[in-house]
């Protein structure tokens, strides 16, 4: 009943706000945005083609009740006003519920909001209290220099183990607050209950869990050390969840927070992740950018999202997390977005990510945080457990048992970058799939394709697989030239890169079209370096190789053959 009352109140508040805002002028809207950094407006829901155009230029925060809710900033307000569409100003949410904790101890009761310094202290305290299980790291810094913090939780936390890496991240929209506190509490819960809860222990022993409670500290703490007037966007007015590399739009330029986040995620290559939001109540899975295209693993995405929502409903009843298909929706069925994080991770990094909207109210009153925790706690745990299921394998050289960084592909099933890769260092791979019997094809430069048939995947179970690949005799020795040497020319699938001896350590590889558009970037320490060019259209490309330790860089050309794919 509590959730139903909240939703009803929200609609009443919005309706009241709409009535009050009818006389608001364009200049008044500009003034609100100038004073607060942004403003939210409502327009009548247009047809899908027009909605898609709007989504490419503006930050849509929600589509519901026949209306579109849009966050405007100084950078986007003039484009919006140029549409000439009738609009209504949505009044800001009441900040009275944003109760600030009096101390770190008070904040760790999880029924108030921490100051930024308290947040920093809590993250450091968790590491200090559980040094064998918890390590504090930094993804990067915000525009205003606030650290974007992340915790690693694992049984051998100082080691980089051959275990699945999973990632929870929240509040990239700075005014969507529930996930911020819930992720802090989840980290505390995992650490506090490691020795007493077998389910928690199983997660910590068999996964490397990374938790980033606050991805946009400048938006959340816009006015100082306490949360009083948070904004959706970062300090430069960018919606961070519209500024990740897009599969088909090279014009998107990620802001600083995203540059750091992308670098972090490319290094870790998480097999499973989720990012947490508020403003709606639903589990949203890929694709976000394609309405007419379904992910190859659509059924698997639906199953894990369904399980999250159903687990919530067992505690909350059906009045919470009940939008669309009882709390589950494919992103573009709700509305399309471009430059979103979950599509970037799933398309470019071969990870699997969903977006979880935790509360209709963006700025969840502190008094409601306990209830949201009780509703979602078991689902937080259950979602991470998905990384323990499916096919867990290793790909090794048949003669030497050395790891092979093979591409793992399912003929007739995989499409749109849904395949995965075996790890360069260990040869390990994880392919999470719906229950059934699957045939897997393994491809790698210098090896014959290997097909393993009849691999069985059972519900909520792990299937182990070791694959040995035979050399095809094309690999060469490791002689490092004075300038980059790339071959074969032209290339069909793979390019072997022999780099000068001055390019030591980890290397950043950026590929551009001949017109100068950046299309791909990766970081690797692999030698010899093998680039996969299957996804590139035929033509000439430029590759820039840069040493991360010394800054030394080199440039070379790549030619992709007409029969490449």
The whole-number pLDDT of residue 2 equals 44
Specify whether 343 is located in the same domain as 380.
Answer: yes
Asked if omega into 488 is within 30° of 0 (cis), the reply is yes
Determine, yes or no, domain membership for 565. Answer: no
pLDDT of residue 495: 87
pLDDT of 222: 95
Buried b or exposed e, range 184-218, using 16+ CB within 10 angstroms: bbbbbbbbeebeeeeebeebbebbbbbbbbbbbbb
Evaluate if residue 546 carries a pLDDT over 90: no
Specify the higher pLDDT residue, 483 or 366.
366
Domain limit, last residue, from 344, 369, 388: 388
384 and 395 in a single domain? The answer is no
Between CA 428 and CA 272 the distance in angstroms is 15
442-474 tens-digit pLDDT: 998 889 999 999 999 999 999 999 999 999 887
Phi, psi angle pair for 295, to nearest 5°: -65, 145
Same domain, 381 and 397: no
Kindly state whether residues 246 and 345 are assigned to the same domain.
yes
Residues 6+ apart with CB under 8 A from 172: 215, 216, 240, 241, 257, 275, 277, 341
Q: How does 402-438 read in b/e, with b if 16+ C-beta sit within 10 Å? A: ebbbbbbbbeeebebbbbbbbbbeebbbbbbbbbeeb
Is the same domain home to 297 and 410?
Answer: no
pLDDT at 4: 39
pLDDT mean over 382-406: 96
Q: In the prediction, which pLDDT does 478 show?
A: 53
Strand partners, 298: none
Q: What is the DSSP-derived secondary structure letter of residue 36?
A: H
Tokens coding 355: 């977006």
- Number of domain units in the chain: 4
Domain of 87: which CATH number? 3.30.70
Q: Residues near 370 by Cβ (< 8 Å), separated by ≥ 6?
A: 110, 111
From 434, 469, 504, give the residue that closes a domain. Answer: 469
Same domain, 371 and 498: no
Per-residue pLDDT at 488: 85
Query: 2, 396, 8, 385: which is closest to 190 by C-alpha?
Result: 385
Element (H, E) at 333: helix 331-334
Element (H, E) at 61: strand 59-64
The predicted pLDDT at position 22 comes to 39
The owner of tokens 């991805």 is 215
DSSP H/E element including 359: strand 353-359
Say yes or no: 104 and 209 in one domain.
yes
Q: How far is Cα 113 from Cα 221, in angstroms, rounded to an integer? A: 11
**Confidence band, pLDDT 50/70/90 cuts, at residue 513:** confident
Contact in structure between 13 and 55 (CB atoms under 8 Å): no
Query: Pseudo-torsion of CA 97, 103, 107, 108, nearest 10°?
Result: -160
The whole-number average pLDDT for the span 204-226 is: 97
Asked if residue 478 is part of any domain, the answer here is: no
pTM check: above 0.75: yes
CA 468 to CA 392: how far, in whole Å? 14
What pLDDT score was predicted for residue 100?
98
Residues 164 and 207 in one domain: yes
257-278: average pLDDT: 95
Local structure of 62: helix, strand or coil = strand
Q: Evaluate whether residue 23 is within a structural domain.
A: yes
CA gap 537, 49 in Å, rounded: 28
Omega prior to 490 cis, within 30 of 0: yes
Can you tell me which residue has the tokens 């393993």? 452
pLDDT digits (tens, 9 = 90+) for 66-124: 899 999 999 999 999 999 999 999 998 888 999 999 999 999 999 999 999 999 999 99
CATH number for position 227: 3.40.630.10
| pLDDT bracket for residue 21 (50, 70, 90) | very low
Q: Is 528 helix (H, G, I), strand (E, B) or coil?
A: coil
Residue 485: which residues within 8 A CB-CB, separation 6 or more?
497, 498, 556
Mean pLDDT across the chain: 91
Which of 89-93, 253-257, 453-457, 544-548 is predicted least confidently?
544-548
Residue 213 has pLDDT above 70, yes or no: yes
Tell me what pLDDT residue 500 has.
85
480 lies in a domain?
Answer: no
pLDDT of residue 428: 96
Pick 246 or 59 by higher pLDDT. 59
The reply to whether 87 and 102 lie within a common domain is no
At 314 the pLDDT is: 97
pLDDT in tens, 132-157: 999 999 999 999 999 999 999 999 99
Residue 481 has pLDDT above 60, yes or no: yes
Q: What is the dihedral of CA 411, 414, 420, 422, to 10 degrees?
A: 0
Whether 546 is in a domain gets the answer yes
- Which segment of 87-91, 163-167, 229-233, 492-496 scores lowest on mean pLDDT? 492-496
The confidence score (pLDDT) of residue 20 equals 37
Structural domain span for residue 400: 390-469
476 — pLDDT class (breaks 50, 70, 90): low
What is the predicted pLDDT for the residue at 8? 43
Residues 519 and 540 in one domain: yes
Secondary structure of 21-34 as H, E, C letters: HCCCCHHHHHHHHH
Residue 422 banded pLDDT, cuts 50, 70, 90:
very high
pLDDT at 479: 55
- DSSP characters for 279-322? SEEEEEES-SS-SS---TTHHHHHHHHHHHHHHHHHHH-TTSS-
Residue 524 pLDDT > 70? yes
Identify whether residues 344 and 239 lie together within a single domain. Answer: yes
Whether residue 324 is found in the same domain as residue 436: no
């Amino acid at each position: 009943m509590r959730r139903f009352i909240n939703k009803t109140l929200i609609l009443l508040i919005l309706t009241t706000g709409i009535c009050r805002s009818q006389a608001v002028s364009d200049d008044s809207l500009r003034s609100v945005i100038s004073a607060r950094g942004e403003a939210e407006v409502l327009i009548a829901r247009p047809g899908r083609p027009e909605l898609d155009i709007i989504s490419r230029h503006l930050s849509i925060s929600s589509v519901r009740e026949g209306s579109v809710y849009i966050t405007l900033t100084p950078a986007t307000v003039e484009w919006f006003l140029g549409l000439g569409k009738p609009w209504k100003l949505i009044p800001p949410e009441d900040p009275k519920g944003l109760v600030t904790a009096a101390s770190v101890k008070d904040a760790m009761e999880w029924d108030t909001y921490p100051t930024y310094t308290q947040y920093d202290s809590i993250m450091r305290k968790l590491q200090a209290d559980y040094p064998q299980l918890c390590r504090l790291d930094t993804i990067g810094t915000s525009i205003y220099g606030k650290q974007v913090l992340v915790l690693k939780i694992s049984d051998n936390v100082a080691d980089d183990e051959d275990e699945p890496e999973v990632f929870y991240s929240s509040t990239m929209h700075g005014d969507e607050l529930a996930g911020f506190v819930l992720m802090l509490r989840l980290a505390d819960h995992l650490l506090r209950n490691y020795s007493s809860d077998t389910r928690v222990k199983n997660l910590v022993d068999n996964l490397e869990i990374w938790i980033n409670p606050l991805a946009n500290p400048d938006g959340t703490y816009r006015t100082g050390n306490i949360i009083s007037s948070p904004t959706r966007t970062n300090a430069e007015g960018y919606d961070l969840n519209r500024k990740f590399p897009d599969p088909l739009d090279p014009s998107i330029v990620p802001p600083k927070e995203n540059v750091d986040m992308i670098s972090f995620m490319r290094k870790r290559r998480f097999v499973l992740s989720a990012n947490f939001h508020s403003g709606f109540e639903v589990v949203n899975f890929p694709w976000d950018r394609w309405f007419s295209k379904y992910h190859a693993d659509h059924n698997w995405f639906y199953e894990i999202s369904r399980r999250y929502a159903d687990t919530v409903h067992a505690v909350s009843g059906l009045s919470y997390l009940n939008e669309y298909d009882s709390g589950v929706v494919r992103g573009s069925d709700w509305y399309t977005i471009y430059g979103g994080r979950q599509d970037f991770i799933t398309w470019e990094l071969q990870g699997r990510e969903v977006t979880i909207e935790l509360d209709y109210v963006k700025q969840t009153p502190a008094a409601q945080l306990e209830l949201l925790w009780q509703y979602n706690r078991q689902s937080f745990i259950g979602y991470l457990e998905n990384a323990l299921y499916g096919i867990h394998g290793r790909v090794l050289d048949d003669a030497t048992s050395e790891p092979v960084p093979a591409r793992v592909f399912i003929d007739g099933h995989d499409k749109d970058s849904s395949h995965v890769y075996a790890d360069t260092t260990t040869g390990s791979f994880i392919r999470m799939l719906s229950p059934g019997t699957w045939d897997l094809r393994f491809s790698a430069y210098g090896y014959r394709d290997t097909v393993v048939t009849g691999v069985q995947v059972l519900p909520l179970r792990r299937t182990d697989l070791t694959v040995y690949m035979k050399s095809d005799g094309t690999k060469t020795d490791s002689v490092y030239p004075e300038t980059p040497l790339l071959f074969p020319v032209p290339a069909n699938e793979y390019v072997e890169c022999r780099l000068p001896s001055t390019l030591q350590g980890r290397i950043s590889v950026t590929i551009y079209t001949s017109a100068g558009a950046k299309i791909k970037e990766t970081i690797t320490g692999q030698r010899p370096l093998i680039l996969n060019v299957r996804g590139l259209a035929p033509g000439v490309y430029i590759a820039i190789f840069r040493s991360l330790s010394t800054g030394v860089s080199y440039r070379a050309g790549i030619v992709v053959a007409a029969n490449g794919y």
